Structure 1
């Protein structure tokens, strides 16, 4: 049987995240200074999401903890997760996060990667038995929802990078929020945008993959985004045109796990994330196909190879440890 998320994984991943979501340093702030008064510490800038090396990694650390708590409420780490959320998800601290975003220079803060992850976290919290956490975070959620709604209509072109700027990844995460909240208008905007950006794409060569600091496959995350946004019959035709040679293992670069030469280098360490995110995409995409589709075993095999290459490395060096378990969770839960 292919690997799946277990209670043992959940406990290990939770322990990793609990060790860094409130670790303030080292820290890489995505912060624009309008004047000397803006030279402040991460905790001053972001009362909740100041840990995990950077804001977005802290957000998806919280998402992972919420997800693990929902899936495995009896794990040893559960009381610590609840205590963290009680201490951090307070009205005063949410107000502080919102205040940061009110500055004119914060208009593009974390666009689009952090936006998608914040909505992903917001989609997860209501499923827990403490509704207060979700309600408390809602003012911050509303800001990022409004930013998506303002930005997508004026974003003429997608960004196809394999890093934080990738727009397909953000749409994919935001779709989970739209579905969880039954926001048909927002889901419609996401779908309209995805079709406008990617609907005519076909015969993707993936010739630029992998790049040296990718943690996303531009080809596979685009396909996974469209799978999430399109009706199954509609997606089937699009997918066959977009990657027409999957049964033959082409483009070959998408099927071979990448090699990580130096896990102490933050950019090179991204490649462990690429293996995990490819595993997530291959798994999700393969499960969208009929059982007898000849592409399905090829895709499933690629997913397992990528997962096996990366799963042993979610901890060990902080350059990867502060975020990789979140991507491992996505892959194992696909």
Structure 2
């Protein structure tokens, strides 16, 4: 099984250091209230202006700080910390927080970027107050949502809930409680998932992300009972769509390149699911094989074209490290 070694961590770090301060090309999530709001990314976001978009820069920094914690004596650590100290000043953090007070910023990066900022805060305590801004937004948002968003892209409810719940477990009882409550209301009665996927531009599996969320929310025996109802034939290879890596036809197309991320995030999900099931469960062997196949399909393609290079290493780290180190 592929291991997260220091050499591989150094490769991930080198890729990410190459884009977290690369301002262009850039895709803004930005509503203009007037002509004065037409500003460049660096002016709007003095920390998270790189990596093609705000959320990719945030989770690029999560990846860098996570790798520094996992490999504290690695050669890349000094470079990461020097750049961190230059960018993450109190003034720059205040400017990033102030962006949320803009008249049309309530849905800025909702919910994907919110959850990744919380994850980054877990590695960088200086962002704790900023993370709590987003946590308050998420408590309100989830409290108002009647239905989940079941998609394979940034709007996925379940993916954001996984990351936010991990952050909230020891920091924000209100957010942790609303995530657990919504997860049960939205997903607990799901049965016999057909898994009509992948979508053509997905980087998440709606079916497996839901299962991964419940693997983190439900006690072991309850999760086993739920999973056996949710995918009752997966031990015999059905639906095969969840066990077959996606084919990526054009890695220079940013949307099609999402499918490399799908392979990596599916690997992550299968590992979480397999570890949440009891020893000897029939699905464990299936999960292990699916993890290996999807990781092998995605890992060779984390570099080569900026469409994927600005974000894929983060999902490779998720897959290789799962379940997380405390």
How would you bin the TM-score normalised by the shorter chain? over 0.9
Instruction: Report the counterpart of residue 114 of structure 1 in structure 2.
Output: 113
Out of 136, 146, 167, the residue aligned to residue 136 of structure 2 is 146
How far apart, CA to CA, are the structure 2 residues paired with 1:118 and 1:285?
Answer: 24
CA displacement at 1:138 relative to structure 2: 2.3
The answer to whether 1:250 aligns with 2:238 is yes
How far apart, CA to CA, are the structure 1 residues paired with 2:46 and 2:22?
Answer: 12
The alignment of Structure 1 onto Structure 2 pairs a total of residues equal to: 322
How far apart, CA to CA, are the structure 2 residues paired with 1:68 and 1:243?
Answer: 34
Instruction: Report the counterpart of residue 33 of structure 2 in structure 1.
Output: 34
1:161-204 superposed Cα distances (whole Å, 9 cap, x missing partner):
100000000000001101243x3332111100111111111111
CA displacement at 1:6 relative to structure 2: 1.1
Q: Which moved more, 1:22-31 or 1:233-242?
A: 233-242
- The DSSP-based 3-state class of the residue aligned with 2:104 is helix
Instruction: Report the counterpart of residue 155 of structure 1 in structure 2.
Output: 145
Q: Which runs of 4+ in 1 moved over 3 A?
A: none
TM-score normalised by structure 2 residue count = 0.97
1:35-59 superposed Cα distances (whole Å, 9 cap, x missing partner):
1111000001111100000000000
Q: Which runs of 5+ in 2 are unaligned?
A: none
Instruction: Report the counterpart of residue 76 of structure 2 in structure 1.
Output: 77
- The DSSP-based 3-state class of the residue aligned with 1:10 is helix
1:22-71 superposed Cα distances (whole Å, 9 cap, x missing partner):
10000000111111111000001111100000000000000000110000
Out of 189, 193, 201, the residue aligned to residue 182 of structure 2 is 193
How far apart, CA to CA, are the structure 2 residues paired with 1:331 and 1:101?
Answer: 31
Instruction: Report the counterpart of residue 159 of structure 2 in structure 1.
Output: 169
For the Cα contact (< 8 Å) 2:251–2:305, is it kept in 1?
A: yes
For the Cα contact (< 8 Å) 2:302–2:313, is it kept in 1?
A: yes
1:11-26 correspondence runs (5 A): 11-26=10-25
Q: Which runs of 5+ in 1 are unaligned?
A: 126-133
The answer to whether 1:204 aligns with 2:193 is yes
- The DSSP-based 3-state class of the residue aligned with 2:273 is helix
Instruction: Report the counterpart of residue 58 of structure 1 in structure 2.
Output: 57
CA displacement at 1:77 relative to structure 2: 0.6
The answer to whether 1:234 aligns with 2:222 is yes
- The DSSP-based 3-state class of the residue aligned with 2:247 is coil
Let me know the Cα RMSD of the aligned residues: 0.9
- The DSSP-based 3-state class of the residue aligned with 1:59 is helix
- The DSSP-based 3-state class of the residue aligned with 1:142 is helix
How far apart, CA to CA, are the structure 2 residues paired with 1:186 and 1:120?
Answer: 14
TM-score normalised by structure 1 residue count = 0.95
How far apart, CA to CA, are the structure 1 residues paired with 2:83 and 2:179?
Answer: 32
